[in-house]
Amino acid sequence: PYHQTYAERALNHENPAAKLLLETMERKKSNLAVSVDVTRSEDFLAIVDAAGPYVCLVKTHVDVLEDFDYSLVERLQELSKRHDFVIFEDRKFADIGNTVALQYSSGVYKIANWSHITNAHPVPGSSIVKGLSSVGLPLGRGLLLLAEMSTKGSLATGSYTEEAVRMARAHRDFVIGFIAQRRMDGIGAAPDEAPEDEDFLILTPGVGLESKGDGMGQQYRTPREVVLDSGCDVIIVGRGIYGSEFQPDTIAARAERYMAEGWAAYVERTSST
Ligand code: UP6
């Protein structure tokens, strides 16, 4: 997958959310995701609208919105159609199967109704995938497992990361890839265990051009380091795009720059041998 194009890789995936993401990346020539972590719905929608033309995916944390109303979801879906992007609620589920199935389908947010992709910590074991998949698979959704984290001192390393990849390999219909800092193909597998053409999507947060960290444990690498050196597929950028003042022009200009950097690294990667 390191050298393959996103269009070629769309053919490797049966899961509708994985296919949709890869096809959107190819169509828009963007491997940029914007992460929108703001507390007011108005700012949220303004950022999504400004960055929308440049991204393949919008990543949300709907539980930080202090004025959340379910109508926001309809607005987000309208923007997703207008600007052609995939939706990923970064819920980071981490409970027993029965509980995560309820959290995913119900409550205030009803995430499974509108989020093409969501994610989970592998810490409970594969029952978490079973619980989420009972809700999401019939709806054509996809799941990412958090195999690694971007934070300083993360415990998701070594054998934990390997087990996460094994868990994904056992649920290829629903698990489409990872939140991770590098490619995971073949990790933790004996030579005959992983299919030769194993193709996981790698979505990578902790991306910034201007800063190395945020004073709260976050660590940033550049789009080039992430896509070219580490072989990741989607760069996830939050504050690097919307900063602290939510100015549509500035947001669009920054998103365009991250998109260009991410795509250039991808073009270099797929044309190398
Ligand atoms: N995120 C990380 N690191 C991880 C997993 N998830 O930063 O390992 C998420 C955060 C945030 C976004 O929850 O929404 O990615 C990063 O935002 P930033 O670019 O503003 O630091």
Q: Report CA(187)–ligand 1 centroid distance (Å).
A: 23
Residue 104: CB atoms within 10 A of its CB come to: 27
Q: Is 97 in the pocket of ligand 1 (CB under 6 A)?
A: no
* Rounded Cα distance, 179 and 91, in Å: 12
CA of 196 relative to ligand 1 center, distance in Å: 31
User: Can you tell me the ipTM of this complex?
Assistant: 0.99
Among protein residues, the one whose CA lies closest to atom 1 of ligand 1: 205
Distance 160 CA to ligand 1 centre (A): 20
| Mean pLDDT value across residues 51-70 | 98
Ligand 1 atom 8, closest CA: 149
State the alpha helices, DSSP H only, in the chain.
Answer: 6-10, 16-28, 41-51, 71-83, 97-105, 111-114, 127-136, 158-169, 223-224, 239-242, 248-271
Ligand 1: does its nearest atom lie under 6 Å from the Cβ of 185?
Answer: no
Question: Mean per-residue pLDDT for 23-40?
Answer: 98
Q: How many residues does the chain have?
A: 273
Q: Give the pLDDT mean for 46-68.
A: 98
Nearest CA to ligand 1 atom 13: 90
pLDDT of 268 reads 98
pLDDT value at position 272?
85
Does 239 carry a binding-site annotation?
Answer: yes
What residues act catalytically? 90, 92, 95
- Residue whose C-alpha is closest to residue 5's, from 196, 271, 224: 271
Residue range 190-229, pLDDT digits in tens: 888 888 889 999 999 999 999 999 999 999 999 999 999 9
Contact partners, residue 236, CB within 8 Å, separation at least 6: 33, 34, 35, 59, 203, 204, 205, 206, 207
